[in-house]
Amino acid sequence: MNFDLSEDEEMLKALTERFVSDHYDHDSRRAFLSGPGGFSGANWQLLGELGLIAAPFPEELGGLGLDATGIATVFEALGRGLVVEPLAEAVVMAGRLFAMSAPEALQGEWLEALLTGEKRLALAHAEARARDGLVWVETSAVADGDGWRLTGTKPYCAAGGGADGYIVSARISGEPGGADGVALFLVPAGTPAVSTRDWTMADGSVATSLELEGAVVPAGYRLGEDGLAAIAAASDLAALARSAEALGIMERLLADTIDYLRTRDQFGAALGSFQAVQHRMVAQYAVIEQSRALLNLALVSWGSDDFTAAVNGSRAFIADASVELGHEMIQFHGGMGVTDELAIGGGHKRLLVLSRWPEGPVAALDRYAGLLN
């Protein structure tokens, strides 16, 4: 089977890599993380101008309609550059979810600004008792005149810092753990009776805790009919993007460590000349190749009934394997490996978040096993 990229995909890869090489080094990445929202607003605007924000959206809505291979190509390159702009959460997940489920009138108000990067949405779905794939939505929505009144707490809104709006899941019927009765609503930032508190995740990105105390949104701000089905439909490509980003980070950490082992002397010889070190590095190289093979399986399954299972299978493996690789690379660097002075530490922190958000690898493995049966 031919896994070579097409001409368009090669151009997309080159564009992403050029963005990384022109705007990212270790010091600039640290500066971006310390900015509002945990990333660079100027970079976000540039990503919009380059078309990388619009790329995952459907062509009929003004995007490029990237398929699985296109998305994986972009995010692997972003991972190698340790890019901090939240494209996976704000674009592939929240943005596409809005595009797939919002009524036409609401799309007319928001979609163009989302495609250019002028506005940004975040998904507010996870709740405190929703662990590892468990459906649990306590936030409620009740009809209120010509609108909906939302009450509840969304403590884990990834990439929510500075967002212009939130896609909030709320229960209109049934019990918190029920599979039915959950709808999605667009809640613009600044809506009365909505309070936010930003907090920093392990990788330095900024998440938001959302408190809705009877917040009222217009009836037209309800997105689609079945909220959980819409989230599941958008989640496959988002999970693929996260896995591709993790693969890119793994490649970067391995390459940086190889360079270090070639130049760091111990007992009068380069560390990389010791056989025990070589064995451990070869083992991690093999892990990267296994990860790529599983990701490629997902890519060739695009458009078939096997795609969701393949995505979950690759995520279940990569989530665990990437964290272990990060541990190994830190060990080779010694105490400096865990500091912010090297890309190793920052990359490993990002892998920790990617491996556990929005759920851990066990949930992905359970879903994969269930889809095979």
Give me the pLDDT at residue 275, please: 82
Please provide the size of the chain in residues.
373
Tell me the CA end-to-end span of the chain in Å, nearest whole number: 27
Alpha carbons 111 and 258: distance in angstroms, whole number: 44
Burial track 220-255 (b if 16+ CB lie within 10 A, e otherwise): ebbbeebbbebbebbbbbbbbbbbbbbbbbbbbbbe
Closest CA to 364 of 314, 300, 303: 314
Which pLDDT band holds residue 341 (cuts at 50, 70, 90)?
Answer: confident
Percent of the chain at pLDDT exceeding 70 = 98
Closest CA to 203 of 121, 86, 68: 86
Contacts of 335 (CB under 8 A, 6+ apart): none
Cis peptide bond prior to 358, omega within 30° of 0:
yes
Report angle CA 244, 247, 253 to the nearest 5 degrees. 145
Joined tokens for residue 199: 């907090």
- pTM equals 0.94
Alpha carbons 296 and 242: distance in angstroms, whole number: 14
Give me the pLDDT at residue 339, please: 81
Give me the pLDDT at residue 83, please: 97
**121-227 shares the fold of 7-116:** no
Contacts of 249 (CB under 8 A, 6+ apart): 79, 80, 82, 322, 347, 350, 351, 354
Find out whether 317 and 290 touch, Cβ atoms under 8 Å: yes
Alpha carbons 18 and 24: distance in angstroms, whole number: 10
Give me the pLDDT at residue 273, please: 67
Across 218-243, average pLDDT: 94
Taking each helix axis from N to C terminus, what angle separates 104-116 and 41-50, rounded to the nearest 10 degrees? 110
pLDDT in tens, 64-106: 899 999 999 999 999 999 999 999 999 999 999 999 999 999 9
CATH topology of domain 229-372: Butyryl-CoA Dehydrogenase, subunit A; domain 3 (1.20.140)
Q: How far lies 134's CA from each of 247, 314, 340, in Å?
A: 26, 20, 35
Contacts of 297 (CB under 8 A, 6+ apart): 310, 313, 314
Residues paired with residue 170 on neighbouring β-strands, in sequence order: 183
Alpha carbons 317 and 51: distance in angstroms, whole number: 31
Domain boundaries, the chain: 7-116, 121-227, 229-372
Contacts of 54 (CB under 8 A, 6+ apart): 48, 62, 63, 64, 115, 116
Instruction: Please check whether the domain covering 7-116 is classified as CATH 3.30.1370.60.
Output: no
Higher pLDDT, 246 or 4: 246
pLDDT in tens, 315-335: 999 999 999 999 999 998 887
Which pLDDT band holds residue 165 (cuts at 50, 70, 90)?
Answer: very high
Overall CATH class of domain 121-227: mainly beta
Flag the least confident range among 98-102, 144-148, 334-338.
334-338
